């Protein structure tokens, strides 16, 4: 991730949920994150392309392709090399896994 984008995200997270971004600022940031993920996450890029979505075609954050939750169990949806899991959550048996 670019250092500028990482700094911007860290500053945003530090603000907390009680200080939301204005709509335009959120949209611009979401599009930058999508562009980064599209460039650096091969499984996500393949999924986005299968949906006909690229950074050039997505104009609003609501156009960014949403990944089904089941994909997170099947694919390494990370930008960069996956790190070993620090914590593993077990289910009560109500979900697969």
What is the three-class DSSP state of 18? coil
Tokens of 10: 């860290």
Residue given tokens 């790190």 in the structure block: 83
Longest CA span, the chain: 43
What's the whole-number average pLDDT of the chain? 88
97 pLDDT above the threshold of 80: no
Tokens of 29: 């940031």
26 pLDDT above the threshold of 80: yes
What is the structure's pLDDT at 44? 95
Residue given tokens 């990370």 in the structure block: 78
Average pLDDT over residues 5-29: 91
Measured between alpha carbons, how far is 57 from 73 in angstroms, rounded to an integer? Answer: 28
């Amino acid at each position: 991730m670019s250092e500028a984008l990482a700094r911007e995200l860290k500053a945003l997270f530090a603000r907390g949920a009680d200080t939301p971004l204005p709509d335009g600022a959120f949209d611009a940031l979401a599009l930058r994150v999508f562009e980064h993920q599209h460039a650096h996450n091969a499984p996500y890029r393949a999924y986005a392309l299968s949906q006909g979505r690229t950074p050039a075609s997505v104009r609003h954050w609501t156009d960014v392709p949403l990944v089904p939750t089941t994909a997170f169990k099947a694919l390494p949806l990370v930008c960069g090399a996956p790190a070993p899991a620090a914590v593993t959550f077990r289910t009560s048996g109500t979900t697969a896994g």
